[in-house]
Copies of this chain bind each other. A is one copy, B any other.
């Protein structure tokens, strides 16, 4: 990859207004924006591969669903698609072409400024962090941890399945993992049931060509990469199931993976200090996941 010029930012006016490039060296978020004062907004992270957004429909679906759950105005699909296309085209052109260009595109929709009541929306396209490349290649060391809270599902207004910007606790968990010499966390509940990674879905590979992931629900965000993987894998004869996984099962699996849009796939090489040996089919699995996001 060429040495990267600046990221590309596009503002997306709500309600079908203009889509336009924003100078990356100028701030555009106001002090009274709900995203700043309350973390009150939703987002999506989309992988760009060879100059094309991956899994675009799944991200659009989840973005629209998150917005609806949070009583935000419905994002106009056509505007987000157009803004993404334009921003990615700029990004690639400024790097000499689409080929081999990989990037991370983030969509943000905020409830907007308190003083105007108009939602703020934009997207950024930027290089994939070096750490992500390292983790794809080398795998990760993971600690399991409680989330610190249990979702009870007893509040009708609770919007657990919306992908909001409230990641302070997630960041604290990751700082803790790093301070313990690990790379990431997998959340488990009080009963040892596996939920998800800090910013990824957990995939367990079992003997006999079986793939498992915890079913989406309280504490488990529906993953776009996981969904794409299961679609492809099922069509190729893998037995794919979204059902409960318990902590002990991870240690006995053929392999355990964290999958997410940006990181695609990273194998869990160490879980709570225990080495998880590489399976014979490591490259087959990795390739399967990569093909799922092609």
A interface residues (Cβ-Cβ under 8 A, vs B)? 7, 9, 22, 24, 27-41, 43, 70-71, 106, 108, 111, 122, 124, 145-160, 162, 164-173, 175-176, 190
Contacts and interface: CB of A to CB of B under 8 A. Distances in A.
Contact of A29 (B36, B108, B146, B166): B36
11 contacts: A27-B31, A29-B31, A31-B122, A70-B168, A145-B157, A146-B154, A149-B152, A149-B158, A150-B152, A165-B168, A166-B168
A35 B32 contact: no
A39 B7 CA distance: 21
A148 B161 CA distance: 12
Contact of A9 (B31, B158, B170, B173): B31
Contact of A106 (B37, B122, B148, B160): B37
Given A27-B28, A38-B165, A70-B168, 13 more contacts: A27-B30, A29-B30, A31-B124, A37-B108, A37-B165, A147-B155, A148-B155, A148-B158, A149-B151, A155-B173, A159-B169, A159-B172, A166-B168
Contacts of A155: 145-148, 173
A155 to B, nearest CB: 4
Within the oligomer, what is the number of copies of this chain?
Answer: 2
Given A150-B152, A152-B149, A167 B39 contact: yes
Nearest to A219: B149
B167 A38 contact: yes
A168 B30 contact: no
Contacts of A164: 168
Nearest to A158: B148
A110 to B, nearest CB: 8
B36 A36 contact: yes
Contact of A148 (B32, B70, B151): B151
A26 to B, nearest CB: 8
A293 to B, nearest CB: 22
A147 B124 CA distance: 33
A112 B155 CA distance: 33
A147 B34 CA distance: 21
A4 to B, nearest CB: 12
A163 to B, nearest CB: 10
Given A39-B165, A106-B37, A167-B40, A173 B145 contact: no
Given A32-B124, A124-B32, A158 B169 contact: yes
Contacts of A41: 168
A7 B166 CA distance: 27
A33 B31 CA distance: 12
Contacts of A158: 148-149, 169, 172
